Homo-oligomer: A and B are copies of this chain.
């Protein structure tokens, strides 16, 4: 575990607020160690910092009530969805109250005629898609975990479909949020576009609970495509695979997904899922469109891949074969852990302009080899975004130090290529040092905004920027 930095605690305020909240929320106010630990940990590699209590909220008004109590006593408030963030987003660096939003999980309204829906923040992406399926609709953003949509909005999540459908920033139409003083605001109406004032929707998306707590979300939806085709293609090198991706994007093929698995990841998937994929870099693809359209896309891709030495290219519209292929991709994390049983997987991600993708992936592989790590690489490469899963013995200080060195090196290399230190995992605690390196004085503007909207620094303190 990497060390987490503790911030000063407002002990008396915390005790007073806890007394008030216990009275107000009864059974839904919890302080057991297991509940607190679960709410301070998440899937991060940063050491747990437990909140002092967890309150399970059932309505926007309740969230507002909790925030008002905490504001009155200057006590930290941390919004919690499913706890699947990766950079220590929900660690309670200064203690305080975790607001668990998982019981705010109603789908309030689906406006199928407008291709949008209004939901509470605790709805998970899988639940939403299950609900939508009968209406021929889906919500495309798919981070690895079955995250809550509130958490996905708060961290500006994306996933495998982002190359075609964008990230959360592109798919949230409006938010309701509770601000640091307990006020409830709505950032926008349901119109598809608007030029009405500052874009508070996009300001809250990605603010990681530090500017407001999202209590309702209006999302854009997509019609389920008439046809879906999946494909895979093996390449002689990462460079050849990345060159293919660049051509596909430049050619304007509207790929819905284009995922890179490096050789090590393919080996892991073969072992874990009982497959016999050629053990060289692999691209997995998905095409959405009309019946004729997906065939055309697949053919055009095939022609490009061939130019770069792609082999074993197969495309299919069979749902069964498609599911088998993507199941292997979705199990990549578990498959990777199998490469080194007992190891912890540290997942870190960066994103670069696509012209630099091959270069940084190759450099990352070399670096990992130098450091002696087993660390498969998978990537949403259509956007220039990829992940390293570094397998470490978390009880070995040397290994942890080397892993931290790698994370630093990767972030800084991405920044030096005009890329970002975090493509889709957010900043949390883990990427704070690199945010400053990436954006310089712009982080002072972020701090000014944070101070203006949360003068007592009670909303998820110690994340994103240092105030």
Contacts and interface: CB of A to CB of B under 8 A. Distances in A.
B418 A187 contact: no
Interface string A126-162: 0000000000000000000000000000011110001
A421 B246 CA distance: 41
A197 B296 contact: no
A226 B293 CA distance: 14
A424 B193 contact: yes
Given A115-B249, A252-B225, A354-B114, A431 B206 contact: no
Nearest to A451: B452
B246 A113 contact: yes
Interface of A: 111-116, 155-158, 162, 166-167, 169-170, 179, 183-200, 202-203, 205-207, 211, 222-223, 225-226, 246, 249-252, 254, 289-290, 292-293, 296, 300, 351-355, 383-385, 414-415, 418-427, 431, 434-435, 438-446, 448-453, 464-465
A200 B446 contact: yes
26 contacts: A113-B355, A156-B199, A157-B195, A162-B193, A185-B440, A185-B442, A185-B444, A189-B415, A191-B351, A191-B419, A192-B353, A193-B420, A195-B424, A195-B427, A196-B420, A196-B421, A196-B422, A197-B446, A199-B203, A199-B205, A223-B251, A290-B300, A293-B293, A445-B453, A448-B452, A449-B453
Given A251-B223, A296-B292, A354-B113, A438 B193 contact: no
Nearest to A350: B191
Contact of A441 (B183, B188, B452): B183
Given A195-B425, A197-B446, A355-B113, A441 B190 contact: no
Given A252-B225, A420-B188, A453-B449, A195 B155 contact: yes
Contact of A438 (B184, B196, B419): B196
Contacts of A193: 158, 162, 167, 351, 383, 385, 420, 423-424
